[in-house]
Amino acid sequence: MIKKKFNLILIIFIFSFIFLGLFLGLKKESYYVPKNFNTKKVINLKSKEFFSRKEIKLYDILKNDNLTIINIWASWCLPCREEHKYILALSKESNINLVGLNYKDKFSNAKKFIKKYGDPYDIILADTDGTNSIELGAYGVPETFVIENKKKKILKKYIGPLNKISFNEIKKIIKDENK
Amino acid sequence: MKINKYFLILILFFLSQFTFVYGANKAELVDEISKNLRCLICQGQSIYDSNSDFAESMKILILRKISEGKNKKEIYEFLKSKYGDWIVYEPTFNKHTYFLWLLPLILFIFGGILILKKTLKVK
């Protein structure tokens, strides 16, 4: 009798333990970001300017200020609309270079998007076949890179839409860099 | 004049054969490389199998790199530097993966010893 009760308790205990483990696992961030990512240098990728479709190299953009923020976006991407207010807020920061990378988008749709929600970018690049994003090391849209201009290093990378926490983090990086 | 014409046709024929073979080789190489790459945003698929935007772009990039004259190893190294070792299916042999590579061997030897001991005891 006692043994039966003990077994029951044991089973309940084990099950609740497994349940708890799996439940917590659900909430865990499951994106894989390579270690030592921060030491990675961006390559001088060839892209096209969004409006003129003229060829442009990334290193030509990483010049004016200390920091460059590259935001990968597309008009068909819903989370991009969600994070757009943060990008707009970032555009008000001085001392940064805000670059938009338009990912696999139709020109007309992308233009409509900017018209409707506002254009926060200093310059927009057109990544028509998605290869620029791969060369940056991105997974998809939206994604945001914070790059230090002199060493061309990626300081931080955000997969998915920006939120209040990541927005404040970026603001802190900008503040620290311009000390 | 007539000979010249046939000669020209012959040259064109060989040229077309050459580009055909060369083009096919490139596509085959893209397939070969993409089969060994893990599609990071789709679970359990290779870049070759996947039709996601990520995989499609990756295939375009691989083809471009091949056209630029990069070899297989250089392309793997480039992608590993961007996405980490996880992108290739076959893990590289380094200090993080010693255990992974050697464990089967250790288990095999250990098992062998175990079996040998048992059989010797029986005898």
Radius of gyration of chain A (CA): 22
Count other Cβ atoms within 10 Å, centred on residue A73: 28
Return the minimum-mean-pLDDT range out of A93-97, A142-146, B24-28, B76-80.
B24-28
Domain edges within chain B: 2-90, 93-123
- Rounded mean pLDDT of B29-42? 90
Query: Residue A130 and residue B41: Cβ atoms within 8 Å?
Result: no
Question: Among candidates A74, A73, A40, A42, which has minimal Cα distance to A58?
Answer: A42
What is the residue range of A142's domain?
Answer: 39-177
Q: Is A160 on the interface with B (CB under 8 A)?
A: no
Q: Is A40 on the interface with B (CB under 8 A)?
A: yes
Mean pLDDT computed over every residue of chain B: 85
Q: Which ipTM did the prediction report?
A: 0.72
Query: Residue A32 and residue B53: Cβ atoms within 8 Å?
Result: no
Q: Which residues pair with A126 in a beta bridge?
A: A48, A102
User: In this predicted structure, what is the pLDDT of residue A62?
Assistant: 87
- By percentage, how much of chain A surpasses pLDDT 70? 94
pLDDT tens per residue, range A34-90: 555 555 788 888 999 999 999 999 999 888 778 999 999 999 999 999 999 999 999
User: In this predicted structure, what is the pLDDT of residue A3?
Assistant: 82
Band (A15; pLDDT cuts 50, 70, 90): very high
Looking at the structure, do residues A9 and A83 belong to the same domain, yes or no? no
Looking at the structure, do residues A26 and A64 belong to the same domain, yes or no? no
Question: Among candidates B26, B39, B41, B38, which has minimal Cα distance to B72?
Answer: B26
- What residues of A are in contact with residue B64 (Cβ under 8 Å)? 131
User: In this predicted structure, what is the pLDDT of residue B22?
Assistant: 60
Band (B21; pLDDT cuts 50, 70, 90): low
Looking at the structure, do residues A85 and A171 belong to the same domain, yes or no? yes
Looking at the structure, do residues A23 and A44 belong to the same domain, yes or no? no
Tell how far CA A140 is from the center of its chain: 9
A-B interface: how many C-beta pairs under 8 angstroms? 41
The single residue listed with the structure tokens 């992608």 is: B79
Q: Is A32 on the interface with B (CB under 8 A)?
A: yes
Q: Smallest CA–CA separation between B45 and chain A, in Å?
A: 15
Q: What is the CATH number of the domain that holds A135?
A: 3.40.30.10
Query: Residue A32 and residue B60: Cβ atoms within 8 Å?
Result: no
Domain B2-90 - what CATH class? mainly alpha
Query: Residue A134 and residue B41: Cβ atoms within 8 Å?
Result: no
Band (B13; pLDDT cuts 50, 70, 90): confident
Query: Residue B54 and residue A140: Cβ atoms within 8 Å?
Result: yes
Mean pLDDT computed over every residue of chain A: 88
Question: Out of A32, A131, A137, whose CB is closest to B86?
Answer: A32
- What residues of B are in contact with residue A104 (Cβ under 8 Å)? 53, 57
Q: Check pLDDT > 70 for residue B61.
A: yes
User: In this predicted structure, what is the pLDDT of residue B27?
Assistant: 86
Secondary structure in 3-state letters for chain A: CHHHHHHHHHHHHHHHHHHHHHHHHHHCCCCCCCCCHHHCECCCCEEEECCCCCEEEHHHHCCCCCEEEEEEECCCCHHHHHHHHHHHHHHCCCCEEEEEEEECCCHHHHHHHHHHHCCCCCEEEEECCCHHHHHHCCCCCCEEEEEECCCCEEEEEEECCCCHHHHHHHHHHHHHHCC
The single residue listed with the structure tokens 């990069």 is: B70
Looking at the structure, do residues A161 and A115 belong to the same domain, yes or no? yes
pLDDT tens per residue, range A150-164: 888 888 888 889 999
User: In this predicted structure, what is the pLDDT of residue B82?
Assistant: 87
CA atoms within 13 A on the CB side of B108: 5
pLDDT tens per residue, range A112-149: 999 999 999 999 999 999 999 999 989 888 999 999 99
Contact map slice: A 53-92 vs B, CB within 8 A: none
Query: Residue A140 and residue B60: Cβ atoms within 8 Å?
Result: no
Q: Using CA atoms in the order A22, A28, A31, A36, what is the torsion angle rounded to 10 degrees?
A: -120
- Rounded mean pLDDT of A18-47? 75
C-alpha A83/C-alpha A59 separation (Å) is: 26
* A9: its two tokens: 């308790």
Query: Residue B84 and residue A136: Cβ atoms within 8 Å?
Result: no
Q: Check pLDDT > 70 for residue B35.
A: yes
Query: Residue A129 and residue B57: Cβ atoms within 8 Å?
Result: yes
- What residues of B are in contact with residue A139 (Cβ under 8 Å)? 40-41, 54
Q: How many domains does chain A have?
A: 2
- Rounded mean pLDDT of B76-101? 84
- What residues of B are in contact with residue A135 (Cβ under 8 Å)? 61, 82
Return the minimum-mean-pLDDT range out of A87-91, B64-68, B93-97, B105-109.
B93-97
Strand order in the sheet with A143-148: A55-57, A46-49, A123-127, A96-103, A67-73, A143-148, A153-159
Q: Is B51 on the interface with A (CB under 8 A)?
A: no
- Rounded mean pLDDT of B21-47? 85
- What residues of A are in contact with residue B57 (Cβ under 8 Å)? 104, 129-131, 133-134
Looking at the structure, do residues A84 and A141 belong to the same domain, yes or no? yes
